Amino acid sequence: MKTFADPGQARHSPQFFLIRGEVRPNYEVPARAAALEGALHRMGLPPEAAPAATRAQLETLHRADYLDFLRDAMAEWSALPTKGPEAVPNMHATADALANGARCPGSIVGKVAWYTADNACPIGPGTWEAAIGAAGVALAAAGEAAAGRTAYALCRPPGHHAYAARAGGHCYVNNAALAAEALRRAGAGRVAVLDIDSHHGNGTQGLFWDRGDVLTVSVHADPNRYYPFFTGHAEERGAGSGAGCNLNLPLAFGTADDGWLDAVARGAEAARRFGAEALVVSLGFDASRDEPLNALSVTEDGFARAGALLGGLRLPSAIVQEGGYAVDVIGTLLERFLKGWGDA
């Protein structure tokens, strides 16, 4: 199995994070990728570098005005007379405003508000370069899958909360969705995205909501109590030609291996029934019982069994890294997942 990573990922080092009214250091740190890369070296799978995603590749799913914003945000923010070290929003475009003719403003302060879903996606020096680097890593893995093989993409920052024109939840560019789209364009008739990060893959759902050629499945903790709160419910099934092509499997807080693996197996079965010719796995490790946010309670064995279950589908696959913030354990979880996959 080939693996890919962006040697420049550490250029993106977000600081700001607000949780339950407390400002805390951001969890999405460069050390996460270092821990995962260490695991790849231990497994004898050292990652290859990949070219950054091109503008044309990014525009297969992301809006041009949003990409311009991400590219230019730090320079515009830096020109403000007084500012913090990163671009962080202090308001958002609400549904009420959008229903009444709201439009994107010219000021960078207003644009940061417009193009973000929350304040967990600070834009600092290096954010744009790391985001398109991570997308390139996912596209390299998709290239392997397009050739009938399976590859792992060590993406940082993660991507599954990013919509066509909105960042959120540590995510800026949707790496997994771009991989799925690339597989479609490379000739796979139907592609499934199976997201096992503990948070709902809301951006991925949004990007493929009305498409019947890409099945999106997300296994995650109950959004009534957990980010992204508004979406991730079982009733969200897609629309138009995508009706029935989105499957959310929310789980009660504290769900452990057996309950989580049952849901992963339901997702795998949905991909099989859909007739997927290729698979994208959004692989988060934040379902781990060792996770700082600790909503689910999956063990190392659970991740090994998930790897075996998904590898058992025997589909060409791009395994794309999403979240997982317990820096001391995520390397081991990656080893167990990939070993499980290889043993399937």
Residue numbers at the binding site for Zn ion (CB under 5 A): 197, 199, 284, 286, 323
Structure tokens at 69: 């914003």
Using CB atoms, what's the residue nearest to Zn ion?
323
Least distance between Zn ion and beta carbon 219 (Å): 11
Smaller CB distance to Zn ion: residue 2 or 289? 289
Of the residues 12, 161, 170, 200, only one is catalytic, namely 161
In the residue annotation, 41 being an active-site residue is answered as no
Least distance between Zn ion and beta carbon 197 (Å): 4
SS3 content of the chain, % helix, strand, coil (to 5): 40, 15, 45
Least distance between Zn ion and beta carbon 138 (Å): 16
Contact 48, 4 (CB under 8 A): yes
- Whether omega for the bond prior to residue 223 falls within 30 degrees of 0, making it cis, is no
Q: Give the span between the Cα atoms of 221 and 7, in whole angstroms.
A: 32
Smaller CB distance to Zn ion: residue 73 or 176? 176
In 3D space, the residue among 223, 296, 224, 230 whose CA is nearest the CA of residue 264 turns out to be: 296
Smaller CB distance to Zn ion: residue 144 or 286? 286
Smaller CB distance to Zn ion: residue 57 or 119? 119
Least distance between Zn ion and beta carbon 298 (Å): 13
Contact 160, 216 (CB under 8 A): no
Smaller CB distance to Zn ion: residue 124 or 323? 323
Smaller CB distance to Zn ion: residue 136 or 284? 284
Smaller CB distance to Zn ion: residue 284 or 331? 284
Least distance between Zn ion and beta carbon 97 (Å): 28
Spell out the SS3 assignment of the chain: CEEEECCCHHHCCCCCCEECCEECCCCCCHHHHHHHHHHHHHCCCCCECCCCCCHHHHCCCCCHHHHHHHHHHHHHHHCCCCCCCCECCCCCCCHHHHHCCCCCCCCHHHHHHHCECCCCCCECCCHHHHHHHHHHHHHHHHHHHHCCCCEEEECCCCCCCCECCEEECCECCCHHHHHHHHHHHCCCCCEEEEECCCCCCHHHHHHCCCCCCEEEEEEEECCCCCCCCCCCCCCCCCCHHHCCCEEEEEECCCCEHHHHHHHHHHHHHHHHHHCCCEEEEEECCCCECCCCCCCCEECHHHHHHHHHHHHCCCCCEEEEECCCCCHHHHHHHHHHHHHHHHHC
Which residues have a catalytic role annotated?
Answer: 161
